[in-house]
């Protein structure tokens, strides 16, 4: 067996009881000796069918002098399907199965929903167990702030704990703060993500390339990074995976890494207040250094700081999001033909979109045909030539000001912007102009009441001068930079 886990730090609950900050959920009977010898002392024995057999195995270790009962912290839960008058009976049954005289922590598993499950009466019964010294602490599990408030308004003994799901994809910042402000410790379950859960939110946080990169920098495993993140949040952590030698108490995550990981909590869907996206794109084939900065710059070179994450690996994570129904479709952006070919060779799900810069000065005819031949739709960004781009230089050409475009606009009684958008639509592209001006927003939609003639389409096609206006030149040294010299399209 590998070296046992380091001594686990201790936290104090609001009644002075000490609790290890890391423990194990529902240890399997055959692993009890390994659990104890690996230095676990906090064990969640909640309402699982192995309670009796676990109690027998644990008692054998106690009687054999391998561990003392007072050195263990045993917790369990009152199942919310039971009626209030069975709270004590349920605990006594647990004590009998575990062959112990008391628990260290007893929780209400979920807020009772039915009339028979009166929340306040249930908590009063929990207080009775505490007063009888059948449990050293009492608490809640999966309670929201309003439900906790209802308990606090009516309790004689405040809850010591609220056990909730918490991991980088669901960091529960507001609920954790609420609990802290009310002196209630948070116990985190599923800290590694709900890895065996079929629900859409159960993405594999341990496979997140950003977690892997942080782990590489600290010379730790993704598991150790995710557990350390949870402990540094101030949580008591219950793992559902036996970890014999997790060394996450010998280092600290930097504040910027803690802040960065906290942004993983379903950022796009959370910010948009949605359950799913219709399409999600990989923005660039080249990855940048993971961290709080979206575009990390090396001050010595002025170039982006690269990451060595391969876009093929990122695509696998994109496929998982599609499989979990978090997005209806997945695609790419700014990929050249060679990169698309490489991706298609390994992809289980082909990209539905390649979003690229496209306008008369860069009409991308070869790349558009390449995508079309492979069933990939082209979405066009900067169709107006990004006239408000912040990186513009004096003398830069603006396609929207091109006299030839204005002349064609006069011919059709349309603005230059409408001509440019109509040109892009007739190329077969999905077009996404950028505007915050109300009049222009209306104008941009008024392009479906006319058609550019075939001659005018061909004429505008001659304006192409490889006039790329979004080169992201700061990434030019990256091995996956898509616009390198020598790449045809």
Where do the domains of the chain lie?
Answer: 10-254, 266-475
> How far does CA 18 lie from the centroid of its chain?
32
> How many CA atoms lie less than 13 Å away from 122 in the CB half-sphere?
31
Q: How confident is the model at residue 22 (pLDDT cuts 50, 70, 90)?
A: very high
Q: Report the pLDDT value the prediction gives residue 30, as an integer from 0 to 100.
A: 62
7 burial (CB, 10 Å; 0-12 / 13-18 / 19+) is exposed
Q: Which of these, 312, 317, 362, 304, lies nearest to 335 by C-alpha position?
A: 312
pLDDT at 200: 42
173-180 contact pairs (CB < 8 A, 24+):
173/262, 173/265, 174/145, 175/144, 175/145, 176/233, 176/234, 176/235, 178/145, 178/148, 179/148, 180/234
Token digits of residue 124:
């009063």
Question: Which range, of 14-23, 200-209, 349-358, averages the lowest pLDDT?
Answer: 200-209
pLDDT at 26: 67
Per cent of the chain over pLDDT 90 is 56
pLDDT reported for residue 81: 55
Task: With cut-offs at 50, 70 and 90, classify the pLDDT of residue 377.
Answer: very high
| DSSP β-ladder status, 430-431 and 377-381 | parallel
Of the candidates 291, 343, 290, 342, the residue with the CA atom closest to the CA atom of residue 319: 343
pLDDT > 70 in the chain, percent: 89
CA gap 236, 449 in Å, rounded: 63
Say yes or no: domain 266-475 is CATH 3.20.20.100.
yes
* Neighbour count for residue 43 (Cβ, 10 Å): 25
The fold for domain 10-254 equals TIM Barrel (3.20.20)
Pick the more confident residue, 34 or 462: 462
Q: What is the pLDDT of residues 467-482, one digit of tens each?
A: 998 999 999 999 999 9
pLDDT score of 23 more than 80: yes
| Residue 461 CA, distance from chain mean position | 43
Q: Comparing 307 with 331, which gets the higher pLDDT? A: 331
Give the total residue count for the chain.
Answer: 489
Distance CA 197, CA 189 (A): 13
For the cut 60, the answer to whether the pLDDT of residue 1 exceeds it is no
Distance in angstroms (rounded) separating the CA atoms of residues 384 and 373: 26
Q: With bands split at pLDDT 50, 70 and 90, how would you rate the model's confidence at 331?
A: very high
Domain pair 10-254 / 266-475, same fold: yes
pLDDT-based confidence at residue 58 (cuts at 50, 70, 90)? confident
Reading phi first (left if > 0) and then psi (alpha if -120 to 50, else beta), residue 190 is in: left
pLDDT of residue 438: 81
User: What's the pTM value of the predicted model, to 2 decimals?
Assistant: 0.60
Nearest one of 148, 82, 141 to 117, comparing CA atoms: 82
Yes or no: say if 203 and 324 are a contact pair by the CB < 8 Å rule: yes
Mean pLDDT on 6-23: 90
Half-sphere exposure of 241 (CA within 13 A, CB side): 15
pLDDT value of residue 271: 66
What is the model's pLDDT at position 3? 42
């Amino acid at each position: 067996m590998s070296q046992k886990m380091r001594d686990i730090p201790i936290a104090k609950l609001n009644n002075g009881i000490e609790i290890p900050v890391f423990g194990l959920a529902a240890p399997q009977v055959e692993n009890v000796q390994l659990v104890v010898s690996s230095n676990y002392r906090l064990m969640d024995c909640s309402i699982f069918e192995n309670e009796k057999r676990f109690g027998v195995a644990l008692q054998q270790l106690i009687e054999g002098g391998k561990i003392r009962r007072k050195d263990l912290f045993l917790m369990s839960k009152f199942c919310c399907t039971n009626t209030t008058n069975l709270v004590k009976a349920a605990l006594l049954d647990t004590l009998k199965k575990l062959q112990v005289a008391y628990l260290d922590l007893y929780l209400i598993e979920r807020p009772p929903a039915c009339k028979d499950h009166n929340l306040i009466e249930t908590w009063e019964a929990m207080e009775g167990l505490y007063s009888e010294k059948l449990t050293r602490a009492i608490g809640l599990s999966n309670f929201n702030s309003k439900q906790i408030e209802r308990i606090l308004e009516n309790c004689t003994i405040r809850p010591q704990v609220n056990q909730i799901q918490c991991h980088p994809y669901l960091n529960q910042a507001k609920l954790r703060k609420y609990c802290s402000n009310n002196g209630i410790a948070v116990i985190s379950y599923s800290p590694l993500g709900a890895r065996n859960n079929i629900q859409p939110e159960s993405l594999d946080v341990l496979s997140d390339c950003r977690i892997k990169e942080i782990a590489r920098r600290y010379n730790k495993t993704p598991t150790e990074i995710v557990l350390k993140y949870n402990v540094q949040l101030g949580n008591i952590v219950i793992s559902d995976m036996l970890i014999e030698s997790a060394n996450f108490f010998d280092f600290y995550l930097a504040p910027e890494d803690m802040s960065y990981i906290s942004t993983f909590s379903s950022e796009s869907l959370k910010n948009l207040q949605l359950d799913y996206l219709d399409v999600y794109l990989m923005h660039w084939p080249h990855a940048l250094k993971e961290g709080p900065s979206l575009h990390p710059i090396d001050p010595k070179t002025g170039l982006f700081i690269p990451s060595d994450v391969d876009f093929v690996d990122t695509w696998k994570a994109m496929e998982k999001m599609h499989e979990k129904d978090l997005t209806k479709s997945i695609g790419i952006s700014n990929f050249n033909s060679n990169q698309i070919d490489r991706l298609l060779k390994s992809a289980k799900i082909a990209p539905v979109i390649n979003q690229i810069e496209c306008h008369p000065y860069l009409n991308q005819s070869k790349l558009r045909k390449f995508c079309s031949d492979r069933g990939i739709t082209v979405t066009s960004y900067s169709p107006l030539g990004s006239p408000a781009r912040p990186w513009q230089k004096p003398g830069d050409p603006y396609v929207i000001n091109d006299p030839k475009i204005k002349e064609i606009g006069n011919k059709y009684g349309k603005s230059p912007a409408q001509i440019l958008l109509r040109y892009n639509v007739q190329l077969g592209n999905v077009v996404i102009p950028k505007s915050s001006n109300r009049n222009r927003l209306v104008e941009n939609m008024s392009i479906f009441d006319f058609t550019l003639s075939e001659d005018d389409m061909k004429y505008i096609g001659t304006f192409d001068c490889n006039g790329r206006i979004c080169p992201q030149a700061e990434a030019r040294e990256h091995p996956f930079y898509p616009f390198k010299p020598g790449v045809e399209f």
